Structure 1
């Protein structure tokens, strides 16, 4: 049996850097889950965004449940056993293209596009390049970034600069994020005016079933989503949440559902879920 190396309880909102500062050996354990952690967290070349990664977000980078991440960090679970945990090998959602799709619009407009995967693999910090690129995006314009994981801290930083983002996983270690700089002159801009709270009961719209769990106390948001999915009556769901539901993702995989996209708006995280084909 491996000894618990972390004396304090771990929570999804806890900063990852606080854990590894107290226990540097945790970096090696994290790297066993995803090699990207080595470059992100190595002290001599620590990236600008590394200090803002929360444990719940680190679990998504690692592709494991929050519980499994905690067990690895605490030295209770060897990384070699992760592949045998239920829900670890979730299907990768396919990239969709629909009318009005941001990704299609960005491609049509030849929006700036940066692939940070080679930079991260070589130990470089792409933060300044992303910020430089964002400064050249006009109101209503787009930019696209390819990364080896969903860069949640970067999405939060850019949300504070007037950007709304959509993210899609297009491969096991490949996320594509599309940002749009909101135009303050546009009426009804989602950045300035997120969707009004609808209440905790699901409703149907032209684009399918929606569920608004904002303002509910845990674990009610989680149970409401799972109860709705477990009825077996819907194949797609748009979830309106206060934050990214890190505990929900592994449970979706166990039920044959996937997260197709995540939009970070001001005052709302909008998540597209679908039953796997």
Structure 2
């Protein structure tokens, strides 16, 4: 398999499971890839260049480690170039000027293999204009930052004594959930949903996550959508509408149809093809 800075970590691991140890050996931050739940949460969301930034290592070092176990390197011109220099304290002071700091340590959640996304969402939802949320985490939370910036939040991440402090504050253009997910997410009734399933011109994979505890439903869906192509769709049985997942599906340019049948019974139909 040929790789470059844009290659998703999940695809690398799927191709060769030895990649977990090859990456984990580069930096203590990457040892979390050995945890199956955390690996499934992080790997589908970032590419190799972003992972290198999270671990504060050179992307070429990571690529070389993967080449050593059998991967082939594509043209270096296709690599994503990220700045590695951390923001100075002056940037932090300017970013937080006049703000009351509210701290949230998500490391205990990650240590237990739990996804802190919902806790973060609740904290950000309560954030006032005179406040800034400080997220304490072992690595730069690039997937979280990407989603929240689309929601209109401003972010600055600094590293102090080996710990990432990721600060969020309200921007002037804060947008709603409806605006964020756009037209790629639609609500349909049961009849319309069944018609989608019946007329879809391809293979439909089905997963049921209703009996799973968080973050396993998120893990299962993220894992399943990695295998979608123009001829394959995904049908999901869920307990609730996964609001925190919808922006991720939008980012991946997937079409999502939601059908809420009853309390604790929601169906999703996800595809790359316009249906």
TM-score, normalization by structure 1: 0.50
After TM superposition, give the deviation of residue 50 of structure 1 in Å: 3.5
In structure 1, what is the Cα distance between the partners aligned to 2:58 and 2:28? 17
1:22 maps to what in 2? 15
Contact 1:16 1:54 survives alignment (8 Å): yes
Matches within 5 A, 1:80-91: none
Alignment of 1:1-277 (within 5 A): 7-8=1-2, 10-40=3-33, 42-46=35-39, 48-75=41-68, 96-97=89-90, 101-103=94-96, 105-106=98-99, 109=100, 111-139=101-129, 141-171=131-161, 173-184=162-173
Relative to structure 1, the CA distance from residue 22 to residue 76 in structure 2 (aligned partners, 3 Å threshold; closer, same or farther) is: closer
Which runs of 5 or more structure 1 residues have no equivalent in the other structure?
1-6, 78-90, 186-277
CA contact under 8 A between 1:148 and 1:175: conserved in structure 2?
A: yes
Structure with the higher fraction of residues in helix conformation: 2
Q: 1:78-137 CA distances to partner (integer Å, 9 max, x unpaired)?
A: xxxxxxxxxxxxx9968615796233544xx2x321122343234332222212211111
Q: Report how many aligned residue pairs link the two structures.
A: 161
Q: Give the drift of 1:161.
A: 1.1
What's the counterpart of residue 247 of structure 1? none
Distance between the aligned counterparts of 1:44 and 1:100, measured in 2?
Answer: 36
Q: Secondary structure of 1:176's partner?
A: strand
The structure with more radius of gyration? 2
Structure number with the bigger relative contact order (C-alpha 8 A, sep ≥ 6) is: 1
Tell whether the 8 Å contact from 1:145 to 1:177 is kept in structure 2 after alignment: yes
Give 5+ residue unaligned stretches, structure 2: 71-83, 175-275
Q: CA RMSD in A?
A: 3.1
Q: 1:163 to 1:40 in 2, by over 3 A?
A: farther
